[in-house]
Amino acid sequence: MIGQGFMGAAHSQGWRVAPRFFDLPAPVEMAVLVGRDAGRAADAAAKWGWTESSADWREVIARDDIDIVDIVTPGDTHAEIAIAALEAGKHVMCEKPLANTVEEAEQMAAAAERAEAKGIRSMVGFTYRRVPAATFARDLVASGAVGEIRQVRANYLQDWLVDPEAPLTWRMKKELAGSGSLGDIGAHAIDLAQFITGQRLTTVSGMLETFVKERPLLAEGSGLSGTASAERGEVTVDDLALFTGRFDGGAVGSFEATRFSTGRKNAFRIEIAGSKGAISFDLEDMNVLSVYDGTAPGDRLGFTRVLVTEEVHPYMANWWPTGHIIGYEHGFSHQAKDFVEAVANGTNPSPSFADGLQVQRVLDAVERSAESGSAWTPTA
């Protein structure tokens, strides 16, 4: 695994737990954790359960005893590391968004296609697809439970940047993160909306806003927080992204991604309304899927809170007895499990780098639309 921030901790948990709860077709050995800073990498490796640590990813991907490379670094390094790892014959899992630009994502998707011809697998870490209630939502929609999909409403709301003195971490620098709320959390909304509906966004119209244009530089820390220094720097990404879009299957969607929604910590909601019914998912209530059956008798209409905690639900048979809930970190175990199965069984995992490229094109179209004053902009 390359990277040692918040996602490093989350992915480590996934790799460590997946083989203990799922019968995987191959063993998982957490071999090497790579981080820029050798001391921090050694500490993180010891804490999270990696056998070794290193500060040199090139040396690690050249090793014969490494089969899988998991990339959890900021977006500016995804393309270089992923392409090198694929060319070295390693299966690659890469955090979202796939890259910082469409051009990089195209190069990564092309490298993944070349590697696939040699049996090398790759996947993007859109983890929320693997929250059982979200996977179940996809299954229900695919079974026709909502009928013809008409409306998609997705909003991903956080508030960790409301304080104008919160320091300038890498997620606020375009050269490192590619974009702000748009790519960081809007990408999740795009992926999940497309995953659940089975439709793809073809045109978008959007606006972006940066509320706080300058922040104290980061003195110490990383990830979402840290201590502020006396110096200030420019925020070069969006704080909020709002857009509407049309899907290729006829649905129409509205999207909101913001780190300025005061009081909302990690509220990711998606609602789909169709000709026969509707579903509503809320990450803050992640063991539930609200389902509306518009064909029910008139005296029994209303959203039903379905507890997605039963062994009949996706991934749930391997966890706890009936009604026992799971949490944020379980998605990372499901992701690790699905990836190991694909690698061992010789199948292509999903979402692929090509899927990641398509999301990147949507992000880019939103940016182009916002620059041009919200004009309708094709995603391809």
Binding residues vs ligand SOE (CB under 6 A): 6, 158, 184-185, 188, 224, 266
Among residues 140 and 157, whose Cβ is nearest to ligand SOE? 157
For residue 155, what is the enclosing H or E element? Answer: strand 149-157
Among residues 60 and 81, whose Cβ is nearest to ligand SOE? 81
Alpha-carbon torsion (189, 195, 197, 201), positive or negative: positive
Among residues 225 and 304, whose Cβ is nearest to ligand SOE? 225
Among residues 78 and 188, whose Cβ is nearest to ligand SOE? 188
Among residues 160 and 303, whose Cβ is nearest to ligand SOE? 160
- Considering the complex, what minimum distance in angstroms separates the CB of residue 187 from ligand SOE? 8
Cis bond before residue 321 (omega within 30° of 0): no
- Considering the complex, what minimum distance in angstroms separates the CB of residue 182 from ligand SOE? 11
* Per-residue tokens: 11: 């992915």
Cis bond before residue 97 (omega within 30° of 0): yes
Phi, psi of 213 (to 5 degrees): -90, -15
* Per-residue tokens: 255: 């999207």
Phi, psi of 168 (to 5 degrees): -80, 90
Tokens 């509220």 -> residue:
267
- Considering the complex, what minimum distance in angstroms separates the CB of residue 178 from ligand SOE? 12
Using DSSP's 3-state secondary structure scheme, residue 355 falls into helix
- Considering the complex, what minimum distance in angstroms separates the CB of residue 43 from ligand SOE? 21
Residue 292 · residue 302 · CB < 8 Å: yes
Closest CA to 118 of 80, 95, 92: 92
- Considering the complex, what minimum distance in angstroms separates the CB of residue 188 from ligand SOE? 6
- Considering the complex, what minimum distance in angstroms separates the CB of residue 223 from ligand SOE? 8
Among residues 155 and 158, whose Cβ is nearest to ligand SOE? 158
* Per-residue tokens: 323: 């009604």
- Considering the complex, what minimum distance in angstroms separates the CB of residue 67 from ligand SOE? 25
Give the CA radius of gyration of the chain: 21
- Burial (CB count within 10 angstroms: exposed 0-12, middle 13-18, buried 19+), residue 20: exposed
- Cα separation, 185 vs 97, whole angstroms: 9
Q: Are strands 277-282 and 267-274 parallel, antiparallel or unpaired?
A: antiparallel
Phi, psi of 52 (to 5 degrees): -130, 170
Among residues 209 and 293, whose Cβ is nearest to ligand SOE? 209
Among residues 50 and 332, whose Cβ is nearest to ligand SOE? 332
- Considering the complex, what minimum distance in angstroms separates the CB of residue 156 from ligand SOE? 8
Among residues 115 and 240, whose Cβ is nearest to ligand SOE? 240
- Considering the complex, what minimum distance in angstroms separates the CB of residue 95 from ligand SOE? 8
- Cα separation, 202 vs 82, whole angstroms: 27
Residue number of the CB atom closest to ligand SOE:
184
